[in-house]
Amino acid sequence: MAESMESISKGKSIEISGFDCAEKSVHMIEWLGLGKDYRKFVVSDVEGELYKQQPGSQLLKLQCIGEPELLTGALPQNGDESKAILTRFSATFPLEATVNLGGEVWVLTIDQNYYAENLNIPNERKLTQNFNVKGSAKQ
């Protein structure tokens, strides 16, 4: 079922679909420190990155085309291998973006990745975003 979300471009909206693919992982996605509403931050981040790279373009539609890939990294706690402390977390959302670029419509295949590190050290926590366009096709 498609939903609609307001674009960062005034008066425009973006059709979003497939984002329920991550519902069962929300408790882990929260480790990124961006909140529970992953739909909102993923769409907004993709849109921001797209407009930075292609000024004048407009995101028309964003579809999550698979479950996000979630990876964790941990350290043994007090030398005990059976108890670990979470230190790193990565979430990659496989997306398909339909973009209007100067009157031409393109479909981009994107991996939107978030990598959080130093989760065990509160004031050294670091979040990196990677916007990776894997493919494009003119419609």
pLDDT tens-digit map of 74-87: 888 877 767 888 99
Q: Between 46 and 8, where is the model more confident?
A: 46
What pLDDT, on the 0 to 100 scale, is given for residue 122?
83
Across 99-114, average pLDDT: 96
CB 83, CB 76: distance < 8 Å: yes
**Alpha carbon distance 16, 19 (integer Å):** 7
Q: Hey, what are 15's tokens? A: 């059709």
What pLDDT, on the 0 to 100 scale, is given for residue 1?
60
Overall size of the chain counted in residues: 139
Q: Is the pTM of this model over 0.95?
A: no
CB 80, CB 111: distance < 8 Å: no
What are the respective helix, strand and coil percentages of the chain, to the nearest 5? 25, 55, 25
**Alpha carbon distance 89, 99 (integer Å):** 30
CA 22 to each of CA 59, 68, 74, 91, 128: distance values in angstroms, whole numbers, following the listed order: 21, 6, 22, 10, 20
Across 106-128, average pLDDT: 95
What's the Rg (C-alpha) of the chain?
Answer: 17
